[in-house]
Amino acid sequence: MNLKIAVLAGDGIGPEVILQAKKALYAISVAYDHEFIFEDALIGATAIEKTRSPLPEQTLNLCLNTDAVLFGAIGNPKYDNNPDAKIRPEQGLLRLRKELGLYANIRPIKPFKNLLDASPIKKEVIENVDFVIFRELTGGSYYGEKVINEEGTFASDICEYSENEINRITHQAFKAAQSRRKKVTLVDKANVLETSRLWRKIVKKIATQYPDVKLECQYIDNVAMQIITDPKQYDVILTENLFGDILSDEACAIMGSIGLMASASIGDKNALFEPIHGSYPQAKGKNIANPIASILSAAMLLQHFGLEKEAKKVYEAVEKAIEYKVVTIDLNPGSRFGTNDVGDFISNVI
């Protein structure tokens, strides 16, 4: 297969971990006789510094015209500590998601057998956990109108959802459930929010088209607890943008490290693959960042294009690295292996 892949390494540890994902993809292309062409482009704080825009037009055009985007990380504390900054790195990612129409963010939670002890949660609670979060990614309060008055004494954010936005991701979630354990849990706050009531109404209607899938509705506050106390109950979690952001980071506690969590953001035409972790500026350039999330995002890319065997190969290579403890210090405090070593080991196993 021929694939043209845009590589947006971004800020902080982004470039270091993305390099390892590229190595893994290169190893796959050699082993399975594919051709992957990578093209780098700027995004985030790095792009602001060079072009004054967090998403230069050149980057956007490239992404619109490639098969897939491999994304590193975004964010720089410099901007966080300046609430008046008008241009911020995150805007680049948010605009990119919107322009590419990446409405479904998919985040699988399945702890590695050899890492069950790395989680702060008890082994018996998390073993055999296997669920996936379908987070709506181009709507909600991320994109609704934002207001701040001139005196800086009042602000507002609107959370909006339309039927169409809810429809498309709901169908994705139900289809995924059909090839899994056939259960969808809709997470909302329908006892308070109007948008949640709209979600509930539409999702219930769609559910009747999937009689083999069971639908359950739970409140976000309850789920925030149950994901820790009883995570085995979940198969597919379907939710809006902000709730999905919160729950998927929370679910990292099950995996043992945020450095293990991959994600795919899918639209009707485009697809982007990125680790869940952020730019982790304190670790930048130190060769200590965990590249596994990035490498697993590359595996999700392969899977997206139907390259199941190849995706499995990457996953197994990651498992091997974990089994042999070729991991970074977040997973083994005394580890002598750095970002590069882990990446090399995995691509060699491939």
Ligand X SMILES: CC(C)[C@H](C(=O)O)[C@@H](O)C(=O)O
Active site residues: 142, 189, 221, 245, 249
**Tokens in use for 20?**
């390892």
Write the CA distances from 121 to 37, 248, 305, integer angstroms: 41, 16, 34
Would you count residue 90 as binding its own copies (CB under 8 A)? Answer: yes
**Which sign does the torsion angle of CA 125, 311, 346, 339 carry?**
negative
Closer residue to ligand X in complex, CB, 90/316:
90
Alpha-carbon torsion, ordered 259, 295, 130, 266, to 10 deg? 110
Interface pick for its own copies out of 2, 57, 150, 155 (rule CB under 8 A): 155
Residues 6+ apart with CB under 8 A from 318: 112, 292, 295, 296, 299, 346
What CA–CA distance (Å, rounded) separates 314 from 328? 18
Write the CA distances from 180 to 87, 131, 136, 227, 288, integer angstroms: 42, 9, 20, 18, 35
Longest dimension (CA), the chain: 61
Would you count residue 146 as binding its own copies (CB under 8 A)? Answer: yes
Interface pick for its own copies out of 29, 138, 170, 195 (rule CB under 8 A): 195
Closer residue to ligand X in complex, CB, 71/210:
71
Site string (224-243) toward its own copies, x via CB under 8 A: xx--xxx-----------x-
Closer residue to ligand X in complex, CB, 161/210:
161
SS3 state of residue 116? helix
Interface pick for its own copies out of 160, 316, 323, 344 (rule CB under 8 A): 160
Tell the smallest beta-carbon distance from residue 222 to ligand X (Å). Answer: 8
Tell the smallest beta-carbon distance from residue 6 to its own copies (Å). Answer: 23
Tell the smallest beta-carbon distance from residue 264 to ligand X (Å). Answer: 12
Residue 345 contact, options ligand X, its own copies, none, Cβ 5-8 Å cut-off depending on partner type: none
Would you count residue 220 as binding its own copies (CB under 8 A)? Answer: yes
Residue listed under structure tokens 């491999």: 70
Residues 6+ apart with CB under 8 A from 334: none
Stretch of 129-137, 145-153, 266-274, 321-329 contacting its own copies, by CB under 8 A = 145-153
Stretch of 16-24, 43-51, 102-110, 216-224 contacting its own copies, by CB under 8 A = 216-224
Residue 112 contact, options ligand X, its own copies, none, Cβ 5-8 Å cut-off depending on partner type: none
- Footprint of ligand X (CB under 6 A): 74-75, 90, 93, 191-192, 221, 245
Write the CA distances from 65 to 5, 18, 68, 270, integer angstroms: 9, 20, 9, 9
Write the CA distances from 333 to 178, 326, 327, 329, 336, integer angstroms: 40, 12, 10, 4, 9
Interface pick for its own copies out of 153, 208, 269, 333 (rule CB under 8 A): 153
Contact residues: its own copies, CB under 8 A: 75, 80, 83-84, 88, 90, 94, 120-122, 125, 141-142, 144, 146-148, 152-164, 189-195, 197-198, 200-201, 217, 220-222, 224-225, 228-230, 242, 245-250, 252-253, 258
